[in-house]
Chain A
């Protein structure tokens, strides 16, 4: 018994260390983001604040890809589908029904659940490459249909989304205000990251780590693996669609390109760049990718070669991504300082 207790404490210890290093990374990121916001505000900048807000919106979609890939081991090649669905629904609602921010967000959230339940139920029956290709097909087919539907703007998309404000408890935040939008996005992304970390650390969430270690054994212990995966699929879809709903509020338009493979592929690059299975990694990945694109884009329009090259190098040599490597070093550092304290 003592042995098991000892092993349990050791495992728990190392997990705590790893979580602590992730928190450290997240805290540093938040600090940098707030400093950036202040500097941009002081310099009266709009362009970079809006670009950063867009990066955070894309980060939301990257988080949802990471939930499937890093937590469940399911590679989705069509997460842009839900991002686009959210974007189209919010656009249609803002133009035709209501300009109430929370009403739009909650409707998008509620509408995504049944759709993703159906799509997920079908897709999760298969694994590995089959899952990847089915999700690829979903996005491809539905974007093609929207591309050819006149009433949804067809290939042109829809422009003229009204600028609205978000009624917060003490303050009416106008989304026209770039720094307000940026800080709002930052808060939302951080809230989601913290909530996901919390969920993954509950007994419910720990089933997912068990699933990654030995999926075949879980059913014998009485767990319904498919049910857990379906839950994650729906959760990921909801996150993607909510951030999708925010996109037209920032840019004022939607187009079928939002559902194209380029979007899903971008999210995947962000996840690999930042670090699979860390939740905060994709956020950093999104920031890096957007920065990279705008920096290289100012020299040449062919930035894809550089990004593709970086991507291949990462897959070949650094499959854990940036956060994965930072975390390794931070953990070592944290253990060393602990030992120093003791002695």
Chain B
């Protein structure tokens, strides 16, 4: 009995807490993806690259002498105009064509190719690592966890709360939801649909950049850093339902917990196929994912 309790306390619980920190990161990535899809029906293949861009802007600003905590606030703000411009100049022109799902996917794929190479030219392929702003660790319920991971969990919760509040509790959020539900109707009621579209895309990009900043001290910064996260972020978004905020959060927690716990028993190599199998199962049973788009209902 004693050993079972110890096992739960020292092995299972710490693994789950670590999983929660990764979960917070994955959810931040997935949130941006799902918001962009929920409103614009665009699968952003360049999301992983924007995540990397966030990390690199952080490195540049740290080099200029800014404080890490200032960067957390500043980097997303710097990413906003980039996202806004990309939406207005590249996505808007093909937005009204028939097969826009595929066209916009191809377009963002092109953007990802360019960004990746651009980052390689400017910063080189080697990983950079910022100093950990919160060194050391603390003990909670007898479990030792690095401080920064604790901060990550808290930051994830705050960001999810803020996004949820923005979308569901403000008039701006109401406009976004209205535009997602029926853009013509919303437009005729005076919602500036085009600006809302561009703004939402920019917001999603800024979230990707923010996750890049928050994860830099743990995972290092390099041009293809998005590749490790993009598959699980897509998986989370699909399982939760493309375009669903609740779905992204719940699926994000669920899948990263499955990953964390399963890697205790099977080789970590197989935890990715396991998660993918869960996604396939969800798609077979409930093709639209567990939750619906945020415009509806």
Binding site for B on A (CB under 8 A): 69, 73, 75, 122, 125-126, 128-130, 132-134, 136-137, 140-141, 144-145, 148, 261, 265, 268, 272, 302, 304-305, 307-309, 311-312, 315-316, 319
Query: 5 pairs across A/B with beta carbons < 8 Å?
Result: A69-B102, A129-B242, A140-B231, A265-B109, A308-B117
A261 to B48, CA, bound (A): 13
A312 touches B238 (CB 8 A): no
Query: Which of A126, A144, A304, A319 has its CB near the most chain B CB atoms (within 10 A)?
Result: A304
Question: 9 smallest A-B Cβ distances: which pairs?
Answer: A308-B113, A308-B114, A304-B117, A312-B110, A311-B110, A148-B269, A305-B117, A141-B276, A129-B43
The answer, yes or no, to whether B157 is at the interface (CB within 8 Å) is no
Partner of B287, one of A130, A144, A145, A268: A130
Q: Is the interface of B mostly helix, strand, loop or mixed?
A: helix
Contact A133 B106, beta carbon cutoff 8 Å? no
Closest to B113 in A: A308
**Are B107 and A316 interface neighbours, CB within 8 A?**
yes
Known: A134-B280, A268-B109, A305-B118. A319 touches B272 (CB 8 A): no
CB pair A75–B284 under 8 Å, yes or no, is: no
The answer to whether B90 and A316 touch across the interface, beta carbons within 8 angstroms, is yes
Residues of A close to B270: CB separation below 8 A = 145
Q: Does residue B279 face the partner (Cβ distance < 8 Å to A)?
A: yes
A137 touches B235 (CB 8 A): yes
A343 to B47 CA separation, bound complex (whole angstroms): 59
Nearest chain B CB to A187's CB is how many angstroms away? 32
Interface size on B, residues (CB 8 A): 40
Contact pick for B273, options A122, A145, A272, CB 8 Å: A145
**In the assembled complex, B103 has its CB within 8 A of some CB on chain A:** yes
Per-residue contact bits, chain B 248-292, to A (CB 8 Å; 1 contact, 0 not): 000000000000000000000110110010011001100100000
Report chain B residues within 8 Å CB of A130: 238, 242, 283, 287
**A residues less than 8 Å from B113 (CB atoms):** 265, 304-305, 307-308, 311
Residues of B within 8 A of A125 (CB): 283-284, 287
Given the known inter-chain contacts A145-B273, A308-B111, A311-B113, please indicate yes or no for A133 contacting B234, CB distance below 8 A: yes
Q: If the complex has contacts A125-B284, A133-B238, are A302 and B231 also in contact, measured as CB distance less than 8 A?
A: no
Is residue B94 contacting chain A, with contact meaning CB distance below 8 A?
yes
Given the complex of chains A and B, what is the CA–CA distance between A309 and B114 in angstroms? 7
Q: Is B276 a contact partner of A315 (Cβ separation < 8 A)?
A: no
Interface contact A137-B43, CB-CB below 8 Å: no
Contact indicator A304/B269 (Cβ below 8 Å): no
- B90's partner among A75, A140, A268, A312 (CB-CB below 8 A) is A312
